Amino acid sequence: MEYGHNEPPQPKPVLAVYQAIWALDRYTGEGREWTLEEKLERIAAAGFQGVFGRLPEPGMEERWRRLQAKHGLAFGVESFPMDVSDFRPFLERAKAFDVAYVNAQVGTGFLVGERAVDTLAGLMEEAERSGFPFYVETHRGRVTQDLLRTADYVRQLPGLRLTIDFSHYVLAGELTAPSEEAEPYFDELLQRTSSIHGRVSNGEQIQIDIGAGDHPKAEPFKRWWEKGMRYWYAQAKPGEVLPFVCEIGRHYAITRRRTAERRLGGRAVRPLGAVACDETGGGGSLEQSGGRTAGIRRKRSRKPGRSQ
């Protein structure tokens, strides 16, 4: 007897574009913060497939669940575990929400060597027991402080999956120009890509204004993102999702290009991610999961003294 002729086609691995909700803090030029309802409504209306942020504060749980369901947004949750003892109750609380994956900034930059490896291994085991996909973010000031030590972690921990945010390593390493020495280490990490944070550093600031995406400093990031997507796609199972998170924070000092209007995600970081996705091309191309390409607009603040 033959099998498989009438089986439905397997869903392809896809790219899903998320918006970091913390990046909408102080975002409006209207002299007030947007409410949670306004933030999620605008994120969904702009075409994002997911939202990235912390678990809701006590008392906000039902409100969050209702709004997430209303707007059909996936939820990537960020965590800051020091060790298994505080990660276990966090995961138990996360089970009360519709969480797509758990992102972790682990420990501090002073947690090194065997202790760091043991801590990461314990967190991985705890996440696996909970059933959540678990990705460690390449973040400065954490156990992943620098490129060299994180490359050592992936060598020792075959199951370690990463959220790639190389803006931290470009800044911490003052990589103001391409570095042939750094590339092999970047490549080791990119082979563990399970999520990407879209932010561009120039080696002196954690983020810069890349205009319409044509800033020369964006080029290595586009190349890294594309390479990470290729590695991820080659390993992905049917239906798996690669979250690409736009997180451009207004609380950072930043040298800006002069623009008539600023958009979050729509004109710069998100199209770069989409271009990197498109350029995986050929026989193994990533598809983007739904969504439009418009960004989140904010009104420009008028200068003091001008009538509203």
- pLDDT (tens digit, 9 = 90+) per residue, 165-176? 999 999 999 999
Q: What's the pTM?
A: 0.85
pLDDT at site 305: 36
* CB contact at 8 A, 28 and 300: no
**CA distances (Å), origin 143, targets 91, 112, 140, 146, 153:** 20, 7, 8, 8, 10
Contacts of 7 (CB under 8 A, 6+ apart): none
pLDDT grade, residue 277 (50/70/90)?
low
Show the CA angle centred on residue 247, arms to residues 244 and 251, nearest 5°: 175
Average the pLDDT over each of 41-50, 212-221, 223-232, 256-265 and give the range with the smallest value.
256-265
Q: Does residue 253 have a pLDDT over 70?
A: no
* CB contact at 8 A, 153 and 190: no
